[in-house]
Amino acid sequence: MSSMGVIGELCSANKKLHVRLLYCVMAAQFIYIAVDHFVYHNRIEDPLLGCACEYCPGPVAWATARARLETAIAESYAEERKPCKLREDYYDESEDEENEAGSGEQLVQVMKRKSTEQQDAWRQMKWVGQPAACPVRGKVIEKLDIQKNFRRGYALRFVDDVEDKTHLLPWLLGSQIDLNRRHRRVYIDLGANRFRTSVEWFLRMYPCDFTEVHAFEVNRRSWRPPRSAFDEVSNSMPGSNDSLLVRKKAGIAEWMLQRVHVYYKRASHMDDEAGGLVNITRFVKEELGLRREDAVVVKMDIEGNEWSLLKAWMEDPDMPLIVDELFVEVHYAHPSMRAFGWDEFSPITRQDARRLLGDLRWKGFYVHAWP
């Protein structure tokens, strides 16, 4: 073999070696880029943290960060969600000085002095009240604000309606847990009055699709359900430039009205057929057969009879397990409620009303004062 042939073979062999080496280098570089992108530059959207950035951590680092965050959240709320040890802690009695001042110039002087001592957003600025010191069932709930008669919106002139319920919306249990996951979802209205008074409010505003509604109203003239059911189909219209999707404000549909059952009897803690009284505890347990696994929301406005009924409920260990959320208009005598005819409830005081609600929370009822 000539020297030129040997050199040619060596060059050919080196060329093949260089090509293979080049392929190896390119493959290693590709793997490096892929791993780097996967670990450090992967786009991840996580519902817990709401991360939608271009350079979030990769799955391994993200899982570690998520676990740390969940641990931190659990630790930060663990102390806050522990139930209070004393019954009196549920009374929220920090405003006793104002409560004892009553009304008039004495109350004004107390409030002026307190406003100069500390900046308090909940005194007049906020429509929504502050959280209570004691959670109920591990959930936050509003403070019992008796100085405003449990009617913040009206007391602070945000609205002209003394029965305004806006201040309750942030504290609804249905906003903290999803009651729609339960198969049977029941709303019970004790003292329904007119259809619009409370039944319609719960159907529209409470974040739960109730499968049953049971309304008690002793006055047949008061109860006025819609005469004609609302037609959702005919009310729909194509989207417009101003985002309107309906022709008029929606009413209550026929299928929803069929879920409403009305009882022209008085809610009570005992049965009396002659007097038109129904033992609500028996009605809930036996007639409806409600259990702990059902979603049960109760509103109570029975003109003073709530005291005997609720005392019976507090002695029944089953009721706080069956009733998920309770709304009660507690009646009492106080000068600030004289214009509404509440003097007839004397000698019950506002402090008595607060203690009743506090005792209910102590017993495990997730209860609000209904305006």
Q: Check: CB of residue 301 under 8 Å from CB of residue 251.
A: no
53 pLDDT exceeds 70? no
Query: Residue 307: its pLDDT value, please?
Result: 94
One-letter identity of residue 301: D
Q: How confident is the model at residue 134 (pLDDT cuts 50, 70, 90)?
A: very high
Q: How confident is the model at residue 51 (pLDDT cuts 50, 70, 90)?
A: very low
> What are the residue ranges spanned by the domains of the chain?
3-77, 83-226+246-369
In this prediction, residues 111-134 reach a mean pLDDT of 80
pLDDT tens readout for residues 204-263 = 999 999 999 999 999 988 888 877 777 888 888 877 667 888 888 888 888 899 999 999
Q: Check: CB of residue 353 under 8 Å from CB of residue 330.
A: yes
pLDDT tens readout for residues 314-368 = 999 999 999 999 999 999 999 999 999 999 999 999 999 999 999 999 999 999 9
Q: Check: CB of residue 261 under 8 Å from CB of residue 212.
A: yes
Dihedral sign (CA 361, 176, 197, 122): positive
Other C-beta atoms closer than 10 Å to the C-beta of 363 total: 19
pLDDT tens readout for residues 259-277 = 999 999 999 999 998 888 9
Extract the tokens encoding 287: 């007639």
The fraction of the chain above a pLDDT of 70, given in percent, is 78
Q: Check: CB of residue 215 under 8 Å from CB of residue 223.
A: yes
Q: How confident is the model at residue 44 (pLDDT cuts 50, 70, 90)?
A: very low
Q: How confident is the model at residue 369 (pLDDT cuts 50, 70, 90)?
A: very high
Give the separation between CA 360 and CA 368, rounded to whole angstroms.
Answer: 10
- Mean model confidence pLDDT for the chain: 83
pLDDT tens readout for residues 176-210 = 999 999 999 999 999 999 998 899 999 999 999 99
Query: Residue 48: its pLDDT value, please?
Result: 46
Place of tokens 């062999």: 13
Query: Residue 2: its pLDDT value, please?
Result: 56
Extract the tokens encoding 112: 């002026």
Q: Of 265, 199, 188, which is closest to residue 226 (Cα–Cα)?
A: 199
Query: Residue 37: its pLDDT value, please?
Result: 65
In this prediction, residues 137-151 reach a mean pLDDT of 92
N residues, the chain: 371
